[in-house]
Amino acid sequence: MKIISERYVPLVVSVGQVVIFPYYILWLKEVSLTLTLFTWFFAAFSFSAALGYRLFQVGKKPADSFIPYIYMGMGCVYILVGYITSTFEVLPYIALFFQVILGLLQGYHHAWHIEQKSFRLHAINHYLLVGIIMIGLSSVKIISPISFISTFGAILFICGMGLLIKKSKDSSVSN
Amino acid sequence: MEPSQLKSNKQVIHKNPWFLGILLCIFVVSVLASIPIEKRKYGLSQSNLTTDYTGLLPERIKKIVKAGDRSEIQEMVKEANEMGYHISIAGLQHSQGGHTYYKDNVVLDMKTFNKVLEIDKQNQTIKVESGASWEEVQEAIQPYGLALKVTQSQSIFTIGGSLSVNAHGRDIRFGPMAGTVREMTILTPTGEIKTVTRNDSEEWMKYVFGGYGLFGVILDVTLELTENDVYTIHTEELKTNEYEDYFANLIRNDDTSMHYARVSVAPNSFLDEMYVIDYIKTGKVDHKTPLKKERGARIGKLALDIGRQGGSLEDLFWENQKLLIKSLDGDEVTRNNAMRGNSAFMEFTKPGRVEVLQEFFIPVEHYEEYMSDLKRILPPNDKNDDFKIHNITVRYAAKDDYTYLNYAKEDMFGLVILIQHGLKEKEIHNAKTIIQEWTDLTLKHGGGYYLPYYHYQSKEQFRKSYPSWEMFQEEKLIRDPNGVFQNIFYDYYF
Ligand SMILES: Cc1cc2nc3c(=O)[nH]c(=O)nc-3n(C[C@H](O)[C@H](O)[C@H](O)COP(=O)(O)OP(=O)(O)OC[C@H]3O[C@@H](n4cnc5c(N)ncnc54)[C@H](O)[C@@H]3O)c2cc1C
C-alpha cells in the first residue's frame, strides 16, 4: 500500500495534470474574454503556485497529511469546470478563482513531490506516459474536452479519498 | 549592514509566504477589477453570417460597401436599378429584426459617413452626415453650449438609423424626433440626390422618417438644437395607479423638460410599484461640464445579473434600484449628459439565450387599465420560466404627424421591455406566443408596438398597429419601382 501512495498516485496526478492541461486551456481560453486576461489567469496560477510551494517548504515535515486533500481539492476544481454550463457572465471571475486554487494546490503538490524518493523514477515514466496517453486521447472523438476535464477531476478525487481511507486504516492498525 | 546580510535579507523577502500571499492578493484583486464586460458578437460580416444586435436572424450577404463619398453611393444605387440587386442600409445595427441586411444582397455600411458639416450657433442648428452617432454630434455641439432636442436615452446610435425608426427618448417637450429635422439631403431609390424640407410637396420626409431604410439613403440632415440646460433631478416612488395623474400634472407644468419612469417587475411589487425621474429646469445653461463617460459598468452589470436570476433576487434588485434612484434626487445634470445613458452594463452573452427589446405604446389615458390587465397575462414571478422580463421603462411619445408608419397616433406612453428567452425552437415559439398575446392586449387598448425590434408579432397584428401600412407599401412601389431598397423587415411584413 505504501508503494501505491508514494509512487503511483503522485504519478497519476502529475501525468494527469499535463495530459489534461491542453483541454483545460481550451476551456480557459473560451472563458477569457481577451488574450490579456488569458495571460493574467496564468500569472495568477503561477503566483499562487509560488505561494503553495513555499507553504509546503515552511510547513512542518512530513506534510503527507495534507496531500489527500490537495488531490481532492484539485479534483473538485476539475469536476466543477466540467459542470459549469450556464453562469456565463460571472465565468471569468470563477475561472480566476479556480486558477488561484489550482495554482496553490499544484505548487504545494510539486514541492512535496520532488522531495519524494521515487521522484527521479517518475520523471522518466512521466514523459513516456504523457506522450502515450495524449496520443490515445487524440483518437477519442466522441467525448468533449469538458468530459476529459471532469473525468480527470473524478480520478483525482478518488485518489484523494483512497489515500484518506488508507491513512485512517494505517492509524487504526498502529493504535 | 554587511553586504552579505543585505543579500540574504533580499532572498528572504521573496520567499516569505506573507509576501507571496500579499503579492497574490494584490494581483488577483487587480485582475478582478479589470475583467472586461463581454461584448456580444454581432454585425456585418461577408465571410460569416451577418446579424444585428440580437443575432436572431443570421444571413449570408453578398457584399458590404462602406459609404465613401455621395457620388459613389449614387452610382451604386443607379447600378442596382439597372442590374436588379437589392441594397440594405446599415447604421450601427441596433435594430433587431434584420432591418439592415437581406439575404445574398448588398449592405451599405453608413458608419464611415459621419462628418459634421456645419454648426450654426446663432440659429442653433447642426448639419451632419447621417452615419454620425449621437455621441459624435454631442462632442461637436457641447463646446457651444448646445444640445439635441430629441434622442434615445443612449447616444450609441447613428442619426440615419434613429430617424429611420423615428426614435424617441426622455424629452417630453419637443415631440417626435422627425420634427427636429429642418432640412435633409436624400438619395432616392432611383438615384437622385434631393434636398428636402418638411413643406416639400412630395412628402419625402414622411416616408423616409420611420421608413426603415426603404425610401432611400439619408445623406445629411440639418437638426434643430436647443440650449445645454442644467436640470435638477427629481425622483419619486409611486403606485402604478397614481401615474396618470402624476404625469398629467407634470406635462401641464412647463418646468420639467425630460422624464421617464420604471415599473417594478420584481415578484413582490410586480407592476404595482413605479419610480419616476424628472429633469427640472434650473434656468442655467452649461458650456463647461464635460460629456460623461460610461462608468461603473461592471457594478451595473453585476446588479443586473443578480436581477436576472429572478425571484427574491429580483426583489432585492428592485429595492436596490429604488435606493439608487432616491440617491439621485436633487442632483444636477446637463441636458447633454442626461441624453447619454450607460449601455455597456446591459451586455448579455449567455450561450443559448438571448435578451431582446420590445416596446408597446399605449394611449396616455389607458395606462392604468392596461397595467392591471397586463397583470392577468404575465406571471409575477418568472424565476422558473424560460421567458423572463427584466425591466420595463416608461417614456412619453407625443402624437406624431410627421411620418406614415407612425406608432404615436395620439399621445402615448411607450413601455420598453427587456426580455430574456432561450434559443431553442420551442422557446422562441413560447416567447412569440406570449408577445402576441401581449400585443393583442395592447391593440385592445388602442395601442401598438415598435418596429425596430424582432418581429414576434404576426402580419395581422402589424396591420392593425399600423393602419397606414397599405399606403406605405403603395408609395414604396411607386418611389422604388425596382425594389432597390430591401431588408428582412420589409420582406416579413409586406
Ligand atoms: C439598447 C437599446 C436601446 C434603445 N433605446 C431606444 C430608445 O430609447 N428610443 C427609441 O426610440 N429607440 C431605442 N432603441 C432602438 C434604436 O433607436 C433603433 O434600433 C435605431 O435604429 C438604432 O440606430 P442604428 O444606428 O443602430 O440603426 P440601424 O439599426 O443600423 O438601422 C435602423 C434602420 O435605419 C435604416 N438606416 C440606417 N441608416 C440609414 C440612412 N443613413 N439612411 C436611411 N436609412 C438608414 C436601416 O436600414 C434600418 O432600417 C434602442 C435600441 C437598443 C438596442
Q: What is the pLDDT of residues B446-460, one digit of tens each?
A: 999 999 999 999 999
Residues from chain A that touch B23, judged by Cβ atoms under 8 A, are 47
Q: How far apart are CA B105 and CA B107, in angstroms?
A: 7
Q: Could you give the angle at which helices B367-377 and B425-444 cross, rounded to 10 degrees?
A: 150
CB contact under 8 Å between B305 and A88, yes or no, is no
CB contact under 8 A, A55 and B348: no
Task: Say if residues B93 and B100 touch (Cβ distance below 8 Å).
Answer: yes
CB contact under 8 A, A51 and B24: yes
In this structure, which residue's CA is closest to atom 49 in ligand 1? B212
Residues of B in contact with A86 (CB under 8 A): 350-352
Q: Is pLDDT at B209 greater than 70 in this prediction?
A: yes
Spatial distance between the Cα atoms of B286 and B284, rounded to a whole number of angstroms: 7
Q: Is B92 in the pocket of ligand 1 (CB under 6 A)?
A: yes
pLDDT (mean) for B360-370: 97
- pTM summary value: 0.84
Q: Which residue has the cell 497519476?
A: A12
Q: Using CB atoms, pick whichever of A33, A51, A93 lies closest to residue B38.
A: A33
Q: Cα B10 from chain centroid?
A: 58
Percent over 70 (pLDDT), chain B: 98
The CB of B100 under 6 Å from ligand 1? The reply is yes
pLDDT value for A173 = 55
Q: How far apart are CA B218 and CA B208, in angstroms?
A: 8
Instruction: Give contacts of A43 with chain B, Cβ < 8 Å.
Output: 27
Q: Please name the member of B17, B23, B350 whose beta carbon is closest to the beta carbon of A47.
A: B23
**Which residue of B lies nearest to A98 if distances are taken between CA atoms?**
B28
Helix (H) or strand (E) holding A57, with range, is helix A35-58
Best mutation site among B88, B164, B207 for ligand 1 pocket (most ligand atoms within 8 Å of CB): B164
B36, closest residue in chain A (CA to CA)? A33
Q: What is the CA(A40)–ligand 1 centre distance, in A?
A: 37
Burial B148-187 (b: 16+ CB within 10 A, else e): bbbbbbbbbbbbbbbbbbbbbbbbbebbbbbbbbebbbbb
Instruction: For residue range B263-310, list pLDDT tens digits in order.
Output: 999 999 999 999 999 999 999 999 899 999 888 888 888 888 888 889
The pLDDT score that the predictor gives to residue A142 is: 67
Q: Does ligand 1 have an atom closer than 6 angstroms to the CB of B164?
A: yes
**pLDDT under 70 in chain A at which residues?**
1-6, 61-64, 86-87, 142, 171-175
Ligand 1 close to Cβ of residue B161 (< 6 A)? yes
Gyration radius from chain B CA atoms: 25
Look at A70 and B33; give whichever has higher pLDDT: A70
- Most informative mutation of B56, B74, B94 for ligand 1 (most atoms within 8 A of CB): B94
Mean pLDDT score across all residues of chain B: 93
- Give the bridge partners for B237, in sequence order: B275
Residue A55, classed as helix, strand or coil, is helix
Q: Tell me how far apart the terminal alpha carbons of chain B are, to the nearest angstrom.
A: 88
Is the N-terminal amide bond of B380 cis, ω within 30° of 0?
no
pLDDT at B163 over 80: yes
- B102: phi then psi, degrees, rounded to nearest 5: -150, 140
- More confident site: B199 or B218: B218
Whose Cα sits closest to atom 31 in ligand 1?
B161
Spatial contact of A53 and A164, defined as CB atoms under 8 Å apart? no
Q: What is the rounded average pLDDT of the residues B31-40? A: 82
Distance, in Å, from the CA atom of B159 to the CA atom of B110, rounded to the nearest integer, reads: 10
The residue among B136, B87, B76, B147 whose CA lies nearest residue B111 is B136
CB of B447 closer than 6 A to ligand 1? no
Q: How far is the CA of B210 from the centre of ligand 1 (A)?
A: 10
Summary count for chain A: helices (H), strands (E): 7, 0
Best of A54, A56, A86, A100 to substitute, by most chain B Cβ atoms within 10 angstroms, is A54
Q: Is the dihedral angle over the CA atoms B154, B155, B156, B159 positive or is it negative? A: positive
Q: Is the CB of B219 under 6 A from ligand 1?
A: no
Q: For B71, what's the count of Cα atoms within 13 Å in the CB-facing half-sphere?
A: 0
pLDDT tens per residue across span B118-153? 999 999 999 999 999 999 999 999 999 999 999 998
pLDDT tens string B344-358: 888 888 878 899 999
Residue in B233, B252, B213 with CA at minimum distance from that of residue B101: B213
User: What is residue A168's three-state secondary structure?
Assistant: helix
Least confident of B32-36, B66-70, B161-165: B32-36
Closest ligand 1 atom, residue B485 Cα? 47
Of the candidates B142, B143, B136, B86, the one whose C-alpha atom is nearest the C-alpha of residue B113 is: B136
Listed residue (B118, B165, B157) closest to B141, CA to CA: B118
User: In which band, very low, low, confident or very high, does the pLDDT at B2 lie, cut at 50, 70 and 90?
Assistant: very low
